[in-house]
Amino acid sequence: MTSTTETGPDAPTTPDAAAPAEVRARPAEVTREAARRRTFAVISHPDAGKSTLTEALALHARVISEAGAVHGKAGRRSTVSDWMEMERARGISITSAALQFEYDAHVVNLVDTPGHADFSEDTYRVLSAVDAAVMLVDAAKGLEPQTLKLFRVCKHRGLPVITVINKWDRPGLDALELMDQIQEQIGLRPTPLTWPVGIAGDFRGVLDRSTGDLVAYTRTAGGATRAPEEHLPAAAAAQREGTAWDDAVEEHELLSADGADHDQDAFLAGVTTPVIFASAILNFGVATLLNTLIELSPPPLPFTVVDPDAGSAPRGAGTPTDAAVAAADAATAPARTRPVEAPFSAFVFKVQAGMDTAHRDRLAFARVCSGVFHRGMVVTHAQTGRPFATKYAQAMFGRERAVLDLAYPGDIIGLVNANALTVGDTIYLDEPVTFPPIASFAPEHFAVVRAVDSGRYKQFRRGIEQLDSEGVVQVLRSDLRGVQAPVLAAVGPMQFEVATSRMQGEFNAAVRLEELSYTQARRTDAASAAELDRLRGVEVLQRSDGSLLALALDKWRVHSVHRDHPHLTLESLVAGEG
């Protein structure tokens, strides 16, 4: 990893080196540029086609000439957003990636997220940094557990959701049945913008419900290039498609009679979800989705901020899982907002190392919330009050990077070797501001980690600290276990695989894990720690943010401790648990 010197991005700098005054003003320019931005995340259950859709959107925006696809498809490359070796090997996304491109006079900031439930914490961080979400639903599987959880998070955060029924080229569920699932299980009213002509597995095209026309697609070799579209009026569509068209028109009229037509206010309020039928791997319906995102999804809006009189919650506070999302956010609910025209501000929602294997640098992903960012400006790090230089700023396109000189609200900027920044931190210019911290999930899997080669302890320690700062895993320590055997805590076991792989590949420090039997974590305090540590089936360790966590074998052990030792502090990390 590149070291930081007094001339590096973390070096103290005087305010005189800040950006020129004209960069700080220009509210009309900021408003105009913010209105051009669309910042959204693509989320789904694993294997619903999320990374494939990300590629297809970039293809239709003409920023790549040929689409990659999920690993294993003959003759096709891995996706540009899946850059980790594990992602390429398994054909799944295990880390979020940002892509920025221009389309139809707009700037699109697209964030691809991990689909696997073990990495849901990374997905949650991304959802804190976007203005809308595209949710993929597999036509054959319908709503799956991870899909339901993500919909609930989006609904709580007030994110408008556009739903894409993907893989309609394969056999699947009935279209009306899928609409019923969305309404009954999620509580969002589906308002299809397109309706399939032909059942799942017989994708002849879609009925454009706004015009009544048929939009038919032509397959391309392996779906690697844009699929040509043909628009036919209703009469010609009926003549060509026969009963398949008649069925589509009948169901379209049924939807209208039931009030399932798009209403922009209801969509922005999180009451309805526009629905598009597509096949991302064939590039069918992708252009419709891209145009819909530009037309319907909101531009950047004012971000809520922490009330300066209330103070900021500590890093790592809260656990946003299902019912706990509301409690975690309510604890730091701000009383005001930061207008997009205000001086520059941004918050860090992700830290990632190892993207550039040649330099082994560390990249902080920050969402611009207000003002204009100018590379080289000196901002203030809200958590420390220290100045922070932004000389090394970059725009990302998956793993590819380019020097970034200007950015506006909605943009995602990459700050290279920003070693002072961690997830949830705020940076700002002129007017002080702090955005609410991003809550951490409650870990359910624990393992002791040790270096295979004790002679490489320096590399081992640096690697563990890096993974901890990125939020890949939580790192817990105690005097009893010692510094050479910390405990890794994770939401899912695949996080351990990522950690061990990166320790070997990036830090040349092979590790071995010893899984522990604990499944529960509760917050405690110093006054209770010693007595808890003496109880059977309980162990107290300290997290890097200073929190003391009591680990227990299972929920029953937690309940028995509550019953037998009511004077001890044992606070739930998830709302509703004892």
Percent of the chain at pLDDT > 70 equals 81
116 in a labelled binding site: yes
Residue 183 banded pLDDT, cuts 50, 70, 90: very high
114 in a labelled binding site: yes
Q: What is the pLDDT of residue 506?
A: 85
What contacts 201, CB < 8 A, 6 or more positions away? 169, 170, 171, 172
For residue 460, pLDDT beyond 70 = yes
Q: What is the pLDDT of residue 144?
A: 83
113 in a labelled binding site: yes
Would the pTM count as exceeding 0.75?
Answer: yes
d(CA 388, CA 393): 12
The whole-number average pLDDT for the span 111-132 is 77
Residue 331 banded pLDDT, cuts 50, 70, 90: very low
For residue 350, pLDDT beyond 60 = yes
Number of H helices, E strands in the chain: 16, 31
Cβ–Cβ under 8 Å, residues 449 and 485: yes
Q: Rounded mean pLDDT of the chain?
A: 82
Q: What is the pLDDT of residue 22?
A: 42
- Range scoring the smallest mean pLDDT among 9-13, 256-260, 413-417, 441-445: 9-13
Q: What is the pLDDT of residue 336?
A: 86
Instruction: Set out the domains of the chain in order of their start, with CATH numbers.
Output: 15-30+303-428 (2.40.30.10), 37-296 (3.40.50.300), 445-572 (3.30.70.3280)
More confident residue, 15 or 400: 400
Cβ–Cβ under 8 Å, residues 165 and 72: no
User: Which two three-digit tokens encode residue 224?
Assistant: 């690697």
Q: How many CB atoms lie within 10 A of CB 250?
A: 10
The arrangement of strands across the sheet holding 214-217 comes to 194-197, 205-208, 214-217, 229-232
HSE (side-chain half, CA atoms, 13 Å) at 527: 4
Q: What is the pLDDT of residue 82?
A: 42
